[in-house]
Amino acid sequence: MPDVLEEVKAVIVDVMKIDGENITLDTRFVKGAKKESANDVEVDSMDQFFLIDGFCDKFGIEISDEEAQKINTVNDVVQFVNTHKK
């Protein structure tokens, strides 16, 4: 799991152009709401699209729109990758 976490963090840092120092498994993707924690990452619909696309490219997986709507935290991404990675 740590390797997947580091790769997920790398995608987030690349797409969002942020410092990944505060990204943990508990980091939330906050859509249309204010951050409640320094670990939260504010995303809009385009950010979400590019993040999902980045995860798909990085891990060679497919994430449907329906599945993408269920991804709310970094842990959600890590778990999804671990169960769908080939």
pLDDT band at 86 (very low <50, low <70, confident <90, very high): confident
- Record the pTM: 0.90
Which domains are present in the chain? 2-84 (1.10.1200.10)
Among candidate residues 44, 47, 53, 57, the one labeled active-site is 44
With tokens 């993040």, the residue in question is: 51
Interval 27-47: pLDDT, tens: 999 977 677 777 899 999 899
Interval 4-17: pLDDT, tens: 999 999 999 999 99
Residue 2 token pair: 């740590």
Would residue 3 show up in a list of annotated catalytic residues for this protein? no
Question: Do 30 and 16 contact (CB within 8 A), yes or no?
Answer: no
Cβ count near 86 (within 10 Å): 5
